[in-house]
Chain A
Amino acid sequence: MAFIIALTIWAVGWWINGRLANGPRSDSRAISLLIPIIFGVTIIAMWEVLVTMLGVSPIILPPPSSIAVRFAGEIPILWADFEQTILKGALTGYVVGMIAAFTVALLADRSEFLTKGILPVGAFMAALPIVGTAPIFVKWLGSDWHSKAAVVGVMVFFPILVNTVAGLKDTSVMQRDLMRTYGAGYWPTLFKLRLPAALPFMFNGLKIATTLALIGAIVAEFFGSPTVGMGFRISTSVGQLALDMVWAEIVVAALAGSAFYGAMALIEKRATFWHPSQRS
């Protein structure tokens, strides 16, 4: 019975989406927003029906309704965790890592030799499992948010660095010659030509780094934290088999991650409105 209802929900959702996607106005903004929403609602409805009707233990998979109830009921705790992990740990580390990466990129950019050296090393470091530094930083800086910020700073440093260095190279010889005919020195050329030209690359690195920042802050809390924070709450709630609380934290993480990325994308849109990829 449960499977039949779930299948019906799926079929109805898919049929509506099929009609919308292949319909005449499928490329309009509202429809392309509506279709994924219907898809998401279909999945959640099937999840709810299957879990409640089949009597799946909440220890394995809680139904969305109980996650929502838990979320609404625990807002003060969730907010405290959000503040500790995202606002203090992830954001501080993100800003520090970003400033450090920009500084190093500008220094590296002044010498051909350094650029050649830093790019391969940076690309190599960006592929490493840098979350592994978490236990070391927690030992050095204590278990409060400072150690999380350090982990995040190191994690976001390399992607931003590699992208910024690549971006600073992204001007054509003709553009640079033009600046020279204007009699522009290093700094005017940097501010008026090369930094603006590097912005699309820099934002690419910054957007990758948003997710890394949250991952770093949450994972570092598995190695020790005060009794607040999203990573702390996830690992203790898993221990108590309170999976609805874990899911509530995941909802917070998802919302925070999307908002963080969205904010970066919005700034990018404002700052690089002239770039071909931003023109519709």
Chain B
Amino acid sequence: MNIRGIIPALVVVGVIFAIWTAAVIPMNAHLTADQAQRDGLVMTPEAPRDRQDFTGLTLAIKNPAIIPLTYTLTRPRLPSPHQVAIEMYETIFTKAPTSRRSLVYHGWVTLSATLLGFVIGTTLGVLLAVGIVYNRTMDKSVMPWAITSQTIPILALAPMIIVMLGAIGIQGLLPKSIISAYLSFFPVVVGMVKGLRSPDGMQLDLLRTYSANANQGFWKLRLPASMPYLFASLKIGISAALVGAIVGELPTGARAGFGARMLVGDQYGQPMVTWAALFGAAITAALLVAILSWIERRTLTRMGMGAMA
């Protein structure tokens, strides 16, 4: 992306942050007023019960003294951007990566499940796609189910898969990876089938005039032609895999990972932990997609399809 494309995006991000910063005041006003009163400040409606009748914004206007305090609560309803940034800095850079309080540690737990699941899902997805393209029976019987399965909220399966595998003694990384694999599997199948079928009749005929056999047709025409489709699916698949790993941590009380952090922050009333985990997951997803885009650009450029990337 060039410089002229970055500026509008930065402005939009800036506006989002400005709205966030402004929203901190009304969101936290009631909590801050209660806290300030305990600390000896005089609030305008003195009884906490009366303050409930006001919106956060009017309360802040009536008590301008609490406005700066809304940004420094330890347990805010909405933390301000700098509070989240500090929490992230502390849990990423000042803690040893092996510590349970380090976000890097939790990130790695989720990331390893995501990557393992992504590799399993992609491999199976590509194999199934090849089967579907070359076997008419498979195409007719499996493909409709692959498409239908996209309309089903598969994540509902997550808790059950974890319990099922737990019952037969499999715990830890693998159950989460299976959910990730499942989620990245279908975008890859659908994309790859489309990609392997993308060479048109003229190209297939040309290969036939070269008297290429089926094997050569696959490796020299169908597989290269499917690459743009594959990368498009991979980018969808990897973010789906990350969501799968996070959701896999939710319902069964996992102790480590982004999902576990979100749950812990929620249950023990530590909003910073939840927010840091949320942003950690967001950054991880962005990095994974960025890495895939980079590989995509490199691959397609080397294959002479750079303009398509």
Asked whether A258 is an interface residue with its Cβ less than 8 Å from the other chain, the reply is: yes
Asked whether B303 is an interface residue with its Cβ less than 8 Å from the other chain, the reply is: no
B185 CB, min distance to chain A CBs, angstroms? 15
Determine, out of B121-129, B148-156, B198-206, the stretch whose residues face the partner at the interface.
Answer: B148-156
A128-B281, A131-B243 known; A139-B9 Cβ under 8 A = no
Asked whether B144 is an interface residue with its Cβ less than 8 Å from the other chain, the reply is: yes
Q: Mark each residue of chain B from 49 to 65: 1 if its CB lies under 8 Å from any CB of chain A, else 0.
A: 00000000000000000
Asked whether B32 is an interface residue with its Cβ less than 8 Å from the other chain, the reply is: no
What size tier do the contact residues of chain B reach? 35 or more
Q: How far is the CA of A262 from the CA of B151 in the complex (A)?
A: 9
Determine, out of A112-120, A168-176, A192-200, A271-279, the stretch whose residues face the partner at the interface.
Answer: A112-120
Residue among B140, B266, B281 making CB contact with A129, cutoff 8 Å: B281
Q: Mark each residue of chain A from 247 to 270: 1 if its CB lies under 8 Å from any CB of chain B, else 0.
A: 101100110011011100000000
Q: What residues of B have a CB within 8 angstroms of the CB of A131 in the complex?
A: 155, 243, 246-247
Residue among B144, B243, B266 making CB contact with A36, cutoff 8 Å: B144
Determine, out of A44-52, A53-61, A70-78, A182-190, the stretch whose residues face the partner at the interface.
Answer: A53-61
Interface residues, chain A, with chain B CB atoms under 8 Å away:
14, 17-18, 20-22, 26, 32, 35-36, 38-40, 57, 59-61, 113-118, 120-121, 124, 127-129, 131-136, 138-140, 210-211, 214-215, 218-219, 222-224, 230-231, 234-235, 238, 241, 243, 246-247, 249-250, 253-254, 257-258, 260-262
- The list of the 5 closest CB pairs from A to B, nearest first, reads A117-B8, A39-B141, A117-B12, A261-B151, A135-B266
Interface pairs (24), CB distance under 8 Å:
A17-B140, A21-B137, A22-B136, A36-B140, A36-B145, A39-B141, A60-B168, A115-B8, A120-B1, A120-B5, A127-B235, A128-B282, A128-B285, A129-B243, A135-B262, A139-B271, A210-B151, A211-B152, A215-B153, A218-B153, A222-B250, A223-B266, A235-B159, A243-B164
